[in-house]
């Protein structure tokens, strides 16, 4: 059983006066359906929605109802996130499979030009991340997401028409512009529809598509590689096929995905109210379209935000290089092209294992940063093997196992995103923090391929030394962030004269009423907010 303070339909006529609480102005009155200006700080659509469903009672959502609501949300929201993220990772990673299909030779790529095809995607993300986060705040999130999906599908299909480095750079840059909406949109959808306890599993579900696309992408690439005597090159068939499928999916998302619980007319009115009330205890709100400068400044000067940003960067830098060069590295170990495709399937399965185990353990033990620390260790172990073991036919199996160990980055990314979604409140602060986190992710991924220098192959010693350094920084940052969040919770409990607790998040004995959950307060402003770590 879960109990949350709620506002549900009172059964009165819609012309009745409804009251909505605001922390700055006390109680204010509106007439349902009338034009009004809600107090500063509260999103007008959210205020109207709850004003029409006022009651003094506390709504109790039993486990059966909660489970029913959750599965309804899974069907409409999680399914879109999972499939879209699969399409995004597959489409972005197609260049990796094309790299051993002849695209480098057919387009006359020289030196570092292939590496720049990955780097330019993340430079585009770096430049467009804040505008797209701001648009996510201002526009209907589902419609904006659907437009971007269809757009990147069209751009991907156009890659097949490229004949030189210039053309490839243009389409890859546009791909980064349209694809960069995915992760911030999914984090916002997670906070809007799911409780903090559920968010790690939700983020893990869509992020696991990084692994699944390796499995499916390897099979697709292998199948297309068998096509002979076609008018199009194998890599051109790959880009055209995936681009057209993604374009059609974007059109479907426009129709299927609701923008918010308030606008989800696919559900009954009563269920929409319960879905909103389900996330009240998150204390992170549902939406607010107003940009608040004080929240932006708070995000810029918050050590918690910068620690999450640093983890995003240190985790992304090795990922960017390994993602772009994994098939080339495996080929250098002595595996054939066919074996490399098939090994990508095993690689994907290992990534998914890391992701789901991290998400499950996070929910089971209510620990995120401790697990992030642990899941960094296999990356370090695998990298040390790369540095110490010579490449030969006798060592390729051991090197392959070491390579698989470095796939733990996905688990750390999931846990870090869950830390961000659960610990940053205030819509504008979320926008700025999300921008910084994904800019750091883009910078890390942009730098990652560049540390793999063409004159350093096949072992890429300098690249793996750089990886060891950033993993060390990552471990220190994780430890610092955990200690900081524990300290912040202790200060909040002390301020409310609540007995200190070591609980990660809200303690069951605190009996918080969550009255200010939808007032768009930041995590620092809201006395009822508790950090999760």
5 falls in which pLDDT band (50, 70, 90)? very low
Interatomic CA distance for residues 430 and 305, integer angstroms: 10
136, 144 Cβ separation under 8 angstroms? yes
Pairing assessment for the beta strands 17-22 and 2-5 based on DSSP bridges: unpaired
Q: What percentage of residues in the chain have a pLDDT greater than 70?
A: 82
Residue 21, pLDDT > 60, answer: no
For residue 212, what are the CA distances in angstroms to 25, 97, 121, 257, 350?
Answer: 50, 15, 21, 23, 10
> Among 86-90, 100-104, 247-251, which is the least confidently predicted range?
100-104
The model's pLDDT over 137-186, given as tens digits with 9 standing for 90+, comes to: 889 999 999 999 999 999 999 999 999 999 999 999 999 999 999 989 99
**Count of C-beta atoms within a 10 Å radius of residue 152:** 28
487 in helix, strand or coil? helix
164 in helix, strand or coil? coil
Query: 369-388 and 303-332 are packed helices; what angle lies between their axes, rounded to 10 degrees?
Result: 30
451, 463 Cβ separation under 8 angstroms? yes
Interatomic CA distance for residues 108 and 167, integer angstroms: 12
Q: Average pLDDT for residues 273-278, to the nearest whole number?
A: 85
Interatomic CA distance for residues 492 and 113, integer angstroms: 52
The model's pLDDT over 280-297, given as tens digits with 9 standing for 90+, comes to: 776 666 777 888 899 999
58 falls in which pLDDT band (50, 70, 90)? low
Interatomic CA distance for residues 301 and 344, integer angstroms: 42
Among 61-75, 115-129, 192-206, 297-311, top mean pLDDT goes to 297-311
pLDDT score, position 113: 87
pLDDT score, position 9: 39
The model's pLDDT over 366-385, given as tens digits with 9 standing for 90+, comes to: 899 999 999 999 999 999 98
pLDDT score, position 195: 87
Residue 2, pLDDT > 60, answer: no
Question: What is the torsion angle, in degrees rounded to the nearest 10, for the CA atoms of residue 323, residue 329, residue 335 and residue 340?
Answer: 10
The residue to which tokens 């869950």 are assigned: 418
For residue 495, what are the CA distances in angstroms to 147, 478, 490, 527?
Answer: 46, 26, 9, 8
pLDDT score, position 57: 54
Pairing assessment for the beta strands 58-61 and 26-31 based on DSSP bridges: unpaired
- Dihedral over Cα of 199, 318, 136, 44: its sign: positive
33 falls in which pLDDT band (50, 70, 90)? very low
Q: What percentage of residues in the chain have a pLDDT greater than 90?
A: 36
pLDDT score, position 25: 34
Q: Average pLDDT for residues 421-443, to the nearest whole number?
A: 90
Phi and psi at residue 30, to the nearest 5°: -140, 160
15 falls in which pLDDT band (50, 70, 90)? very low
Residue ranges of alpha helices (H) inside 139-233 are 141-158, 165-179, 182-193, 196-207, 209-225
pLDDT score, position 333: 66
The residues that bridge with 18 in the sheet, in sequence order, are 30
Interatomic CA distance for residues 376 and 197, integer angstroms: 22
528, 512 Cβ separation under 8 angstroms? yes
Report the 3 state secondary structure along 371-431: HHHHHHHHHHHHHHHHHHCCCCCCCHHHHHHHHHHHHHHHHHHHHHHHHHHHHCCCHHHHH
Indicate the burial class of 83 (C-beta count within 10 angstroms; 0-12, 13-18, 19 or more).
middle
pLDDT score, position 26: 33
68 sits in which H/E element: helix 63-73
259, 140 Cβ separation under 8 angstroms? yes
Cβ neighbours for 503, distance < 8 A, ≥ 6 positions apart: 366, 489
Q: CA 400, 328, 406 angle in degrees (round to 5)?
A: 40
Q: What is the mean pLDDT of the chain?
A: 82
For residue 176, what are the CA distances in angstroms to 325, 416, 434, 449?
Answer: 18, 22, 17, 16
Residue 19, pLDDT > 60, answer: no
The distance between the two most distant Cα atoms of the chain, rounded to a whole number of Å, is 80
417, 218 Cβ separation under 8 angstroms? no
Among 48-57, 416-425, 478-487, top mean pLDDT goes to 478-487
pLDDT score, position 503: 66
pLDDT score, position 449: 79
Interatomic CA distance for residues 309 and 305, integer angstroms: 6
Residue 422, pLDDT > 90, answer: no
Interatomic CA distance for residues 372 and 446, integer angstroms: 23
Q: Work out the end-to-end distance of the chain between its first and last CA atoms, rounded to an integer number of angstroms.
A: 24
Q: How many residues are listed for the chain in this entry? A: 533
Interatomic CA distance for residues 107 and 163, integer angstroms: 5
pLDDT score, position 508: 58
324 falls in which pLDDT band (50, 70, 90)? low
Which structural domains are found in the chain, ordered by start? 62-287 (1.20.1250.20), 290-498+520-532 (1.20.1250.20)
pLDDT score, position 450: 80
> Among 328-337, 395-404, 495-504, which is the least confidently predicted range?
328-337
Q: Average pLDDT for residues 86-93, to the nearest whole number?
A: 85
DSSP of 226-287: T--S-SS-HHHHHHHHHHHHHHHHHHHHHHH--S-GGG-TTS-HHHHHHHHHHTGGG-S-S-
Which one has a higher pLDDT value, 251 or 344?
A: 251
Written as six digits, the tokens of 527 are: 């006395």
Residue 84, pLDDT > 90, answer: yes
Which one has a higher pLDDT value, 92 or 307?
A: 307
pLDDT score, position 170: 94
């Amino acid at each position: 059983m879960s109990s949350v303070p709620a506002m549900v339909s009172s059964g009165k006529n819609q012309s009745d006066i409804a009251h909505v609480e605001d922390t700055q102005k006390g109680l204010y009155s509106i007439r349902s359906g009338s034009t009004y200006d809600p107090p500063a700080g509260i999103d007008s659509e959210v205020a109207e929605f709850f004003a029409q469903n006022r009651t003094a009672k506390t709504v109790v959502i039993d486990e059966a109802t909660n489970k029913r609501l959750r599965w309804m949300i899974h069907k409409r929201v999680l399914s879109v996130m999972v499939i879209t993220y699969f399409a995004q990772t597959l489409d972005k990673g197609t260049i990796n499979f094309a790299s051993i299909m002849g695209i480098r030779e057919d387009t006359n790529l020289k030196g570092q030009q292939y590496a720049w095809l990955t780097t330019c995607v993340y430079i585009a993300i770096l430049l467009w991340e804040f505008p797209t986060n701001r648009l996510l705040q201002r526009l209907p999130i589902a419609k904006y997401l659907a437009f971007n999906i269809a757009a990147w599908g069209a751009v991907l299909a156009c890659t097949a028409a490229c004949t030189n480095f210039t053309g490839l750079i243009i389409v890859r840059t546009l791909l980064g512009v349209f694809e960069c909406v995915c992760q911030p949109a999914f984090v916002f959808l997670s906070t809007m529809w799911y409780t903090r306890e559920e968010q790690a599993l939700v983020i893990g579900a869509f992020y696991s598509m990084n692994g699944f696309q390796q499995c499916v992408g390897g099979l697709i690439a292998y199948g297309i590689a068998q096509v002979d005597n076609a008018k199009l090159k194998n890599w051109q068939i790959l880009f055209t096929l995936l681009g057209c499928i993604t374009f059609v999916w974007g059109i479907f998302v426009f129709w299927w995905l609701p923008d918010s619980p308030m606008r989800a007319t696919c559900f009954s009115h009563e269920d929409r109210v319960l879905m909103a009330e389900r996330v009240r205890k998150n204390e992170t709100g549902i939406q607010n379209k107003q940009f608040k400068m004080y929240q932006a400044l708070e995000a810029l000067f918050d050590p918690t935000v910068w620690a999450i940003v640093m983890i995003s960067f240190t985790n992304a830098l090795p990922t960017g290089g390994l993602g772009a060069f994994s098939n080339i590295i495996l080929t250098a170990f002595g595996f054939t092209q066919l074996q490399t495709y098939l090994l990508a399937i095993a690689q994907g399965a290992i990534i998914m294992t890391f992701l789901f185990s991290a998400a499950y353990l996070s929910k089971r033990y209510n620990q995120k940063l401790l697990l992030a620390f642990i899941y960094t260790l296999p990356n370090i172990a695998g990298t040390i093997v790369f540095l110490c073991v010579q490449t030969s036919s006798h060592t390729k199996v051991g090197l392959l196992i070491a390579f698989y160990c470095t796939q733990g980055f996905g688990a750390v990314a999931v846990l870090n995103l869950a830390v961000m979604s659960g610990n940053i409140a205030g819509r504008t602060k979320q926008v700025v923090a999300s921008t910084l986190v994904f800019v750091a992710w883009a910078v890390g991924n942009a730098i990652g391929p560049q540390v793999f220098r063409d004159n350093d192959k096949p072992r890429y010693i300098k690249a793996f030394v750089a990886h060891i350094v950033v993993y060390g920084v990552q471990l220190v940052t994780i430890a610092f962030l955990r200690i900081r969040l524990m300290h912040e919770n202790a200060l909040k409990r002390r301020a409310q004269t609540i007995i200190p607790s070591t609980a990660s998040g809200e303690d069951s004995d605190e009996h918080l009423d969550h009255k200010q959950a939808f007032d768009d307060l930041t995590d620092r402003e809201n006395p009822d907010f508790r950090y999760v770590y």
